[in-house]
Structure 1
Amino acid sequence: MPLSTLDPSAYEVVRLASRADLSADRAADLQAAGERVDSWRDVLLVAAHHRVLPLLYAHLQPWAPQNVQDELHSYVRRRAMSVLFLNAEMARIARSFDGAGVRFLTFKGPALAEAYGGTARRPFVDNDLLIDPADFDVAARLLGELGFQTRPRSPFQRAGYLRVNGEYTFGRTAGPLISTVDLHTRLVPVGYPYHGPFDALYRRSRMLHLAGETVPTFAWDDLYLALAVNALKDQWNRLRLATDLAETARFVPDWAALEERARQTRCLRALHMAVLVSTDAVGAEYPARVMAAARADARAAQLADRVLRRLPLAHAEPVMEGRDRIRFTLLAPDGVRGQLQYLAYVGLRRVVEPLVSVEGDTA
C-alpha cells in the first residue's frame, strides 16, 4: 500500500505518543486516538518514519493489540543491544582521543538519551563527535587504529568534502553489530547559520557518564540551538526532531542567554521555528516571554505553519525537492547575509561535489 494512503488516524497516534512522558490528558487522548485506528500496521510504519517506535512502545501498553506490543518489544530489545555496543565504542574512542590530547564533544545520541530519561526511549544508531578542525587528521588516524574505516579519498577530495559537508563518516563492524562515527568539524554545512566555534562550545560543555567513562558533551542551551538548526537542515522531516527539542528545552537554564547567542550567530529565526513547531506538534512548554517572541516573528510563524501542515504527510514525502527546498531554506536565515550564505553554499555544492564524490556516496 502506498504510504500516502495510510490510515489517517495513524499519524495522530504517533504524534500523541511522541514524548518521553505523557500527562494524564495526553495519555487519555492517545488511547482515544488508538481506539479509532483501523490499521495498526500503518501506525507502525508512520512511527518508524518519525523514529519514535520506542516511545510508541512505552505509551501504548497495555491497551494496544498484543501483536503490536510484541513487535515493538522485539524492536526495542534489538535497539538496546546496539546502544550498549555504541556506548562501549564511545568509551573506547574517548580513551584514545584523551590519550592523544584530542578534544571532542559528543552530541545528539547519548546527550539526548539523557534528556529522555534513558536510551530505552531514545536509542540512537551512531556516535556524533565534534572536534576542532585542526585535529581532524589526528582524529581520523586514531579512529583507523581502533578499526574504523572510511571511503578513500585523495587529500584534495577529503578537504573539499569537509569544506562542503563539515563531517566525515567512519564505520566498523563487530559480528552483527555496526559502529558508525560521524566526525564533525562543524555542526552544520557551510550554508547554514549556526557554526558554533568549537572552543566556545568546549568551554561551556558538561560531562556525561556512559560505559564507565566521563565524556564531554554540549551544554543544554548549546544542544537546543544545534538541534534547532539541524531540524532546519533536515527540512523538519520527522516528528522526533520536535520531540528532541521539547525534551531538551526542559533543561535549558537561561533562555535570555540562549536567545542572545542565537542572535549573535544569526539563527534566531531557526530558534523561533523550533519553539513554535515543538509546541504545536508535541506539546513542548516554554516561558511565556519565549513563546511571545517566537509568535511575533511573522516569518518564523509562516515557516512553522508550513512544517506543521507537512508533518502528517512526511512519511510519504520525506524530502523537499529542488526549488521548494531552496525556497524554504532561504526564508529561514536571519537577514540577507544568511540568505546569500545559503545561496553560495548551493552553488558550492554543485561545483565541488562532483569533484570530491567517490563510489558509494549518495546525493
Structure 2
Amino acid sequence: MLPDLSPAQEKLLIRLADPEAAADWGNDVSGASLMALLANAEFHGVLPIVLRKFRERGDANLPKDAGLPQKLAELRDQATTATGQSMLLQYHGDRIMKALAAKSVPARIVKGPVFARKLYRQVADRPFTDIDILVDPASIDEANRTIAQCGFELGSNEAESRELQEYKWLEKENSSLLIELHGNLVHDTGMRRRLSLGFRELQTIDGGQTDTPAALLTIAIVHAAGGHKFHRLQLCVDVLQGLRALKSPEEEARLLEAARMTGIELELATVLNVTGRLFGAARAIELADRIKPDLSIRLAKWLITGKMLLRVNSRDKMRSRLSRDAFRWVQRLARPRPYPA
C-alpha cells in the first residue's frame, strides 16, 4: 500500500507529474513528504518526470532528512536501468518490424516508444516495459510466425490470446523483453461490440499520414479507459500530452470524428474530463463537453474522478476499485451510437 498523501501533497504530485509544469515547490516540504511523493510517483508510472524535476531543482535545494538523498540515488540508478531496457526493447521492436515488412505484413508500433518520441519533449520522461505491435486481424497468424522466427516464444495462452486479439511474446534468452501483438487495441470482448480500434481504423484516422495527433490521442484514450481502467496516473499524462499535440481546430475535429467512427465517445468524454480536472486543463474539459452526454457518459464522469485515480493503491483502494469496476460495466452496457458509414 502506498503512503497516504494529503490534498496538498496530491496537488504537488500532479504538478510534478505534468511534463510541462515548472519544478517548483515551497521550502517547507519535508524530506518525508518528498519520500511519500516518490513512492506514489513510482507506482503511478511518472517517476522519470519527477526525478527530472528534482534534478532541475538541484540536490542542494532538497531536504537532507528522512533518507531522501539515498533514496534518490537508488531511484536514479533504477531509472538508468529502465532507460537501457527501453532501448533494448526498441531494438527488438525495430528488428521485428523489419521482418514483418519483408513478409509484406502491414504493422505499426503503438503506445510506448511512439508516445515517448511524438508526445514528450524529453523522451526519457516516458519509458516503456514492452513493445506493442498492431496488425490487421487477417495478418495475425503470419505476424505470430514472424515474431517466433525472431527468437521469441509465446508467453500467453493461445486460445485466450486469439479471443482477446492480444499475444504476449517473450524473448527466449531474456524473458524480461516482452512484445505484445494486437489485432485490436480493445481486448474486452464485451466492449468490442461497441468500440474498436484496429489497424484499419488508425489508418483512416491518420488520413494517409502516420501517427497524427488525433490517432495518438485516440490510442491514449483507449489505453486508459479500454485497457488498464485508470490504474495509474501515467495514462492521463499520455492523454494530457496528446491533447497538447492537437494544434488546430481541424485536428480537434479529426479527434471527435475518430471517436464517433471507433465508438469511443463515452471513453473520450470520460478520460478528457478526468484529465482536465486533474491537471487544470480547461481545453480537455471543453473537448469532453463537446460529446453530447447521455446517461452512460454522465455516470462514467461521476465514477471516474481524480481522487479515484490517485487512490488506486491507498487506504481507499477498495472504493477506487469499485468505481473502476462499475465504470467497466457502464462501458459494456452502453449502447452503440449510430455512425454514418
TM-score using structure 2 length? 0.81
Secondary structure in structure 2 of the residue aligned to 1:293? coil
Paired residues of 1:108 and 1:128 also in contact (CA < 8 A): yes
| Counterpart Cα distance in 1 of 2:176 and 2:95 | 15
| Counterpart Cα distance in 2 of 1:205 and 1:116 | 20
- For residue 113 of structure 2, what is the aligned residue in structure 1? 110
User: Structure 1 pair 261/34, CA: closer, same or farther in 2 (3 Å)?
Assistant: farther
% identical aligned pairs: 22
- For residue 181 of structure 2, what is the aligned residue in structure 1? 183
User: Structure 1 pair 17/305, CA: closer, same or farther in 2 (3 Å)?
Assistant: farther
| Counterpart Cα distance in 1 of 2:167 and 2:83 | 26
Paired residues of 2:196 and 2:263 also in contact (CA < 8 A): no
Structure 2 segments unaligned to the other structure (5+ residues): 64-68
Task: List aligned pairs for 1:210-229, cutoff 5 A.
Answer: 218-229=211-222
| Counterpart Cα distance in 1 of 2:319 and 2:133 | 27
Equivalences, count: 317
Structure 1 segments unaligned to the other structure (5+ residues): 208-215, 339-363
Task: List aligned pairs for 1:118-157, cutoff 5 A.
Answer: 118-151=122-155
What whole-Å deviation, never above 9, does each CA across 1:314-360 have from its counterpart, x for those lacking one?
A: 1236687997555322334794348xxxxxxxxxxxxxxxxxxxxxx
- For residue 89 of structure 2, what is the aligned residue in structure 1? 86
Offset at 1:99? Answer: 0.5
- For residue 19 of structure 2, what is the aligned residue in structure 1? 20
User: Structure 1 pair 33/184, CA: closer, same or farther in 2 (3 Å)?
Assistant: farther
- For residue 265 of structure 2, what is the aligned residue in structure 1? 268
Task: List aligned pairs for 1:256-335, cutoff 5 A.
Answer: 256-284=253-281, 286=283, 290=287, 292-293=289-290, 300=297, 302-306=299-303, 307-316=305-314, 325-332=324-331, 335=334
Offset at 1:285? Answer: 5.3
Alignment partner of 1:230 is 2:260:
no
| Counterpart Cα distance in 1 of 2:86 and 2:302 | 35
Of 284-293 and 77-86, the range deviating more from structure 2:
284-293
Offset at 1:148? Answer: 0.3
User: Structure 1 pair 318/99, CA: closer, same or farther in 2 (3 Å)?
Assistant: farther
Alignment partner of 1:247 is 2:241:
yes
